[in-house]
Structure 1
Amino acid sequence: MLNFHITYPQLINCMLETTIIKKSIRKNSKNISLRINHKGEIIITSPYPLSAKKYQQIIKNNQTWIEGHLIQHLNSQNNCFPENIKLTALDKTWHIEYQKTPSKPKLMSLNENSFIIYGNYTKIEVVQLLKRWLTQQAKQSLYPWLQQVSHEITLPYNSVSIGHHRAQWGSCNGEKHISLNAKLLFLPSILVRHVMIHELVHTIHFNHSINFWHCVARYDAHWKENKKILKTADNYLPDWI
């Protein structure tokens, strides 16, 4: 049985880590301004380019304001929670039940194909519980999947982890540690395999040179098509993620 709950500080930290920050340069602007748009993205507008350190300072100095407005934004969104989650990569669908109680928000498995979220939850707490559930599913499926692909193409790696990256489906560092995005589970299996091959090839080619792509092509005959589709793969993701 899968059972866990979320605390408020954990929720805030995750929101700040996954919120998209966009930079806008407008020469006619008199001051540096900060706002949150209808998508929940942070927009920093300035009359001139700023350094990365300056952007970080702006976020830090306005953290309380940002937290409050992000919570307000998410709670003001449509409170229609997902009734089903389909993980296309696994060809599986789960049904979700909801029950309001005075307790802390929790998620509990009911059987292999359904689970329940109960407690005094808000929309953002439901989203965070679903993300934790997704991470658990990713660990159970993507870990052995990557190992299988690694054996097939004889490119070993040292370690693997699961994350919720904003702009990457996967990554591989110089120590041959591979990180995979939990959201890969919403994609067709052929794209998941393409990402895994891509990252495994990085264990021997630490760039995107001609040799790198030749190696990818050796293991993925349709890599060009898969690479192109991957650029718009966000279309496979549900709205709540």
Structure 2
Amino acid sequence: MAFFPPLVLPHGQVQPYAVRVSTRARYLRIQISAADGVVVVLPSHYPPEQVGVALAARAAWIEKHLQRLQGQRPQELSATEADPEDLPASLSLAAVGQVWAIRHMRSASLNTARLTAAPASRHLYLSHAPEDRDAPRFLLRRWLKQEGERHLFPLLATLAAETGLHYRNVSLRHQRSRWGSCSSQRSISLNAQLLFLPAPLVRHVLLHELCHLREMNHGPRFWALLGGWDPDTPVHREALRRAAWQYVPVFFRGGS
């Protein structure tokens, strides 16, 4: 039986939790409800030794929602990590070495939600009506996609020139389970959330997709080709297994 470490909240309280393994889960997910308390949902392949790290990173979020539960009836409140109230205060785009602060304003007088970027100060100003709970997710994901096109597309073009592996076109999406893909029509699709990853991992993903232009499989010739351009491929492959929960803010995870 796997050992799971205690969950210690920011104010020192040890919080009990249940663990559920799901064959359908792709990432560690935390659910909180008055009926079931804290439940940690794990993918079947998730390393137990990493659970403590993940819980420590989410301890403040867990404590906040447990405090909300006090005095509530079971049917009145439940929380998952996708709660739109959990807007991050800043975004760290490790791929390009940038940190953007978010200033969030709700106003009943606003008819149209908007996001204004101030590149000089690296601030994002987000405003919307209180009842428009979908606006922050939509606007920030759209902004992230625009930034991805601005930074990732030129990087891919540079790597294509270096390797001589030329694609036909490239697109950017919020993909749920892939960092990138390459079609037989020589079209590459990249995940906008790559911007949250360290630059060496981003380079590895882009090289991976470029190598598929020559080898549309994961056979020995593919890995030999990729290893020639990225000698640290084994290290980067292992790091990518943890990258989603380690680097991507909960607010941005998932597709659509």
- The normalised TM-score by structure 2 is 0.64
Paired residue for 2:99, among 93, 99, 104? Answer: 93
- Which whole-Å CA distance do the structure 1 matches of 2:87 and 2:204 have between them? 31
Would you say 1:227 and 2:237 are equivalent positions?
Answer: yes
Would you say 1:182 and 2:175 are equivalent positions?
Answer: no
Q: Which residue matches 1:48?
A: none
Q: Which residue matches 2:31?
A: 38
| 2:184–2:216 contact (8 Å) kept in structure 1 | yes
Q: Which residue matches 1:154?
A: 164
Q: Which residue matches 1:64?
A: none
How large is the RMSD of aligned CA atoms in angstroms?
A: 2.6
Change (3 A) 1:118 1:172: same
Q: Which residue matches 1:82?
A: 88
Would you say 1:120 and 2:129 are equivalent positions?
Answer: yes
- Which whole-Å CA distance do the structure 2 matches of 1:189 and 1:166 have between them? 20
| CA positional deviation for 1:106 | 1.1
Q: Which residue matches 2:72?
A: none
Change (3 A) 1:142 1:75: closer
Change (3 A) 1:229 1:76: closer
Would you say 1:109 and 2:102 are equivalent positions?
Answer: no
Amino acid at match of 2:155: W
SS of the counterpart of 1:240? helix
SS of the counterpart of 1:38? strand
Change (3 A) 1:137 1:23: closer
Q: Which residue matches 1:239?
A: 250
| 1:75–1:124 contact (8 Å) kept in structure 2 | no
After TM superposition, the runs of 4+ consecutive aligned structure 1 residues lying more than 4 A away are 21-24, 72-76
- Deviates further, 113-122 or 90-99: 113-122
| CA positional deviation for 1:86 | 0.8
- Deviates further, 113-122 or 84-93: 113-122
Change (3 A) 1:225 1:95: same
Change (3 A) 1:150 1:99: same
- Deviates further, 175-184 or 75-84: 75-84
| 2:181–2:189 contact (8 Å) kept in structure 1 | yes
Amino acid at match of 1:109: A
Q: Which residue matches 1:143?
A: 153
Paired residue for 2:218, among 208, 212, 222? Answer: 208
| CA positional deviation for 1:215 | 0.3
SS of the counterpart of 1:126? helix
Note the alpha carbon deviations across 1:38-92, whole angstroms, 9 max, x for none: 38xxxxxxxxxxxxxxxxxxxxxxxxxxxxxxxx967993724222111000000
Identity among equivalent positions (%) equals: 31
Change (3 A) 1:147 1:88: same
- Which whole-Å CA distance do the structure 2 matches of 1:74 and 1:132 have between them? 22
- Which whole-Å CA distance do the structure 1 matches of 2:167 and 2:235 have between them? 26
Change (3 A) 1:152 1:77: same
SS of the counterpart of 1:231? helix
Count of residues in Structure 1 that have an aligned counterpart in Structure 2: 178
| CA positional deviation for 1:161 | 0.3
Note the alpha carbon deviations across 1:196-239, whole angstroms, 9 max, x for none: 11000000101001000000011001001101111111111112
Change (3 A) 1:233 1:74: closer
More helix by share: 1
Q: Which residue matches 1:69?
A: none
- The normalised TM-score by structure 1 is 0.68
Change (3 A) 1:203 1:239: same
| CA positional deviation for 1:22 | 7.1
| 2:128–2:135 contact (8 Å) kept in structure 1 | no
- Which whole-Å CA distance do the structure 2 matches of 1:111 and 1:192 have between them? 22
